[in-house]
Amino acid sequence: MPVETVEIHGRPVTFRRAGRGPVLLLVHGITSSSQTWDAVIPLLAAEHTVIALDLVGHGASSAPRGDYSLGAHASGIRDLLAVLGVPRATIVGHSLGGGVAMQFVYQFPERAERLVLVDSGGLGNEVSLVLRLATLPGAEFVVPLLFGPASRLAGGVASRVLPRLGIGDSANARGIGDGLRSLGRPEGRRAFLQTARAVIDPAGQRVDARDRLYLTEDLPTLVVWGERDPIIPVRHGREAHALMPGSRMEEFPGAGHFPFNDDPQRFAAVLGHFVATTEPATHDEARLEARLRRQRRAG
């Protein structure tokens, strides 16, 4: 699909768009881009309007010095949807994008029809060693040595290192390799480090949404996870599913961190069925207030 560009706050934001029907907004993970969804966009676009964006600091979007927190990314999504004239959408977030998606529905519940979390961050402490190492002091000097201007160096490092970390199978390697190419640019490396440090520290993930998952009670929610995810364990998805009343969960046996690469057909079918068999959420401020007050009393 051709890449489209709009200017928001004076900076370019890039995205891909295809299809007609209920709107699916696809949010990628750290170092990745809209390209991470290439295997499933054509399948989803058969019955949906698919918008896959490049988060700020990722893909071909601008990478300014600034705020790379989940909240800032969520606000950027709101701004993009507003510019495109899309009032509401089903938000589909993978890895870091899952954390962004949860933050989006928390900040802008009136704009979320459904929530889909795919091997999502923000649901527990554990995360891969590679991402934890990126938050250590001095990482800004090491990353350029590993992922310098030559993108083939990043690919070579990936091919040697990923198998030793247990993430060298084809679907994982393809997904991670696509992301590593962004680290060949200085601005991409800077955005990666700032984004990682916003949500992770050397001890693991430091952003945890589990204490407010009860707020999704009226939001149709689907959790999708690769059973053998070596980056974020499937246990996080199972625990989150148990904490979200009425949510659905689909595990992909044998799949890793990128289940939509392992089995694109099944992923598209699961997501399509979920949209077709649920009604878009309607936001009610009074209901939200009552739920928050009830939870406070229970606590």
Q: Is 38 a catalytic residue?
A: no
Q: Is 178 a catalytic residue?
A: no
Q: Which is catalytic among the residues 54, 69, 257, 262?
A: 257
Distance CA 107, CA 73 (A): 11
Please report, for residues 1, 145, 268, the alpha-carbon distance to residue 28 in angstroms, rounded to integers and kept in the order given. Answer: 16, 25, 16
If one counts every other C-beta atom within 10 angstroms of the C-beta of residue 298, the result is 7
Please report, for residues 84, 144, 222, 243, 253, the alpha-carbon distance to residue 209 in angstroms, rounded to integers and kept in the order given. Answer: 29, 32, 16, 11, 26
Q: Which is catalytic among the residues 33, 61, 62, 95?
A: 95
Strand 112-118 relative to strand 200-201, pairing = unpaired
Q: Is 229 a catalytic residue?
A: yes
Distance CA 278, CA 23 (A): 14
Q: Which is catalytic among the residues 54, 229, 262, 263?
A: 229
For the chain, the distance separating the N- and C-terminal CA atoms, rounded to the nearest angstrom, is: 49
Nearest of 37, 3, 2 to residue 259 by alpha carbon: 37
Q: Which residues are catalytic?
A: 95, 229, 257
